[in-house]
Chains A and B, each alone.
Chain A
Amino acid sequence: MKLLDEYRNEALAQKIVAEIRRTVTRPWVLMEVCGGQTHSIVKYGLDRLLPAQVELVHGPGCPVCVTSLEMIDKAHAIARRPEVIFCSFGDMLRVPGSGADLLIIKSRGADVRVVYSPIDCLKIARANPDRKVVFFAIGFETTAPANAMAVWQARHQGLKNFSILVSHVLVPPSIASILQSPLNRVQGFLGPGHVCTVMGYREYEPLSARFHVPIVITGFEPLDLLEGTLMAIRQLEAGEAKVENQYGRVVSREGNRVAQEFVNKVFEVCDRKWRGVGSIPKSGYKLRWEFRDHDAERLFDVKEIDTQEPEECISGLVLRGVKKPHDCPAFGKQCTPDHPLGATMVSAEGACAAYYAYGRHLQTAEEKAFFPS
């Protein structure tokens, strides 16, 4: 496919890897922020192509993973109501709350539907005027314009039976939170290319300066990820710390102004609790007051739910790049995609699920010696 296939060229990938080998003189730890990037890295085995001095750790950029257990339980409480048609992206259906998951709730008679786009919910709302259609609005800045448009259009079209349960999260506060942690090992970042397609990368410049870390806005294909790694290593070896843009074919410094303005009309920044990480100030979006008639949390008045994560799960440390999936004794044993114990195993983009999907739990002793985790 045009503009995708050429970024999967193996010979070119090997050349970038050779250039990284020539550049690197000592150990560095880089974090790719976005779960889609993690998935690509593990799928193509890019981390294993890199010289041993370059370690990639996996970031918190998986919205399904970081949606708090409390919010998932709220979603389930709403989905169980007989008057509700509960709509969600497909990858949220299998995520366990403290009890069931949405698929189990659906099998018990709830009307749970998978949609491709939040806009699809408006059609469902129009076709079912006597029902309440609720969309589980999760995502990073990439998804905010779509969810904002759905709410805006619902109000414009007078669709009073459409609301969204908002669990939006923002990347820059999570990067700051990682860098402020005393456990932090990350020395440079591959920034989230699609978040920055919307937001641009101006807001990453003060982060890079304040913490003296290189941030290279990077795409999602193998050549993008390898080139982003090379750019970050070049900066680290030169003692530099600035924001660079590897993904120039899509990302500009200013981002998509039209989308940003629209998002700001509908959403405002709020504190947000991240699963496995905890509360991060000003790290999420909530609906503005003028859109309160479309805010499922207000409409359904779901009580605060207090929930506990399983003790053996280390997903909080994985999400902050402190540990890798291999470091967890439950990985691939008690914890699998069919029976996930925590955040990073529940979504295909979670680091643990990606490692599992590409057989990293089946490593032989020989491989472990060759590819230490």
Chain B
Amino acid sequence: MCLAIPGKVIEIAQDENGVRMGRANFGGIVKQVCLEYTPDVHLGDFVLVHVGFALGKVDEEEAARTYKLLEEMKQLSELEVPTGDGADAGARGSP
């Protein structure tokens, strides 16, 4: 019910009632989105959309930063020497 997915804003316009509307692309599917709650969003930004409303901007820099941290955690754990009984290496499930 609280499902919300990120879409890329590809059009911004005012409708006949003066509401800030637009269209967003969700991996190929384009839908109309109300942008009234995201006045600072520009074309090309990603917004999080719930029941036709953009609830906020997705911060791509923050997304990249936290993803990098997760990847670094992976590298750090790979530097660790297995304990020898194999259980630890198994638990890490190296690909």
**Contact yes or no, B53 A157, CB < 8 A:** no
Q: What secondary structure prevails in chain B residues at the interface with A?
A: mixed
Is B70 part of the contact surface with A, judged by Cβ < 8 Å? yes
Beta-carbon contacts under 8 Å, B35-89 to A: 36-39, 46, 48, 50-53, 55-56, 58-60, 62-63, 66-67, 70-71, 73-74, 77
Q: Assess A12 versus B70: contact at CB under 8 Å? Given A140-B2, A143-B2.
A: yes
Is A116 part of the contact surface with B, judged by Cβ < 8 Å? yes
Q: Which of A4, A7, A16, A194 has the most CB of B within 10 A?
A: A194
Contacts of B94 in A (CB 8 A): 14
Which of A59-67, A174-182, A208-216, A269-277 forms contacts with chain B?
A: A59-67
Q: Assess A259 versus B77: contact at CB under 8 Å? Given A14-B92, A197-B4.
A: no
Chain A 333-360, CB-CB to B under 8 Å as 1, else 0, gives 0000000000000010100000000000
Is A36 part of the contact surface with B, judged by Cβ < 8 Å? yes
**Contact yes or no, B62 A249, CB < 8 A:** yes
Q: Choose one: A12, A138, A143, A145; the contact of B71 (CB below 8 Å).
A: A12
Is A21 part of the contact surface with B, judged by Cβ < 8 Å? yes
Q: Assess A119 versus B66: contact at CB under 8 Å? Given A61-B2, A89-B1, A195-B2.
A: no
Closest to B89 in A: A18
**Contact yes or no, B37 A6, CB < 8 A:** no
**Contact yes or no, B55 A256, CB < 8 A:** yes
Closest to B18 in A: A156
Q: Choose one: A14, A89, A91; the contact of B93 (CB below 8 Å).
A: A14
**Contact yes or no, B51 A116, CB < 8 A:** yes
Q: How many residues of B contact A (CB 8 A)?
A: 41
State in angstroms the CA–CA spacing of A354 and B34 once bound together: 31
**Contact yes or no, B59 A248, CB < 8 A:** yes
Contacts of A156 in B (CB 8 A): 17
Closest to B67 in A: A6
Minimum CB–CB distance from B86 to chain A (whole Å) comes to 14
State in angstroms the CA–CA spacing of A14 and B56 once bound together: 30
**Contact yes or no, A3 B37, CB < 8 A:** no
Q: Choose one: A12, A35, A119; the contact of B74 (CB below 8 Å).
A: A12
**Contact yes or no, A36 B2, CB < 8 A:** yes
**Contact yes or no, B2 A1, CB < 8 A:** no
**Contact yes or no, A149 B58, CB < 8 A:** no
State in angstroms the CA–CA spacing of A6 and B65 once bound together: 13
**Contact yes or no, A18 B1, CB < 8 A:** no
Is A268 part of the contact surface with B, judged by Cβ < 8 Å? no
Contacts of A251 in B (CB 8 A): 56
Contacts of B19 in A (CB 8 A): 149, 153
Using a CB–CB distance below 8 Å, which chain B residues touch chain A?
A: 1-6, 8, 17, 19, 26-27, 34, 36-39, 46, 48, 50-53, 55-56, 58-60, 62-63, 66-67, 70-71, 73-74, 77, 91-95
The 4 closest A-B pairs by CB, nearest first: A117-B52, A1-B27, A14-B93, A249-B63
Beyond A1-B27, A7-B67, A16-B73, 5 additional pairs, beta carbon < 8 A: A11-B74, A142-B1, A145-B55, A194-B55, A262-B36
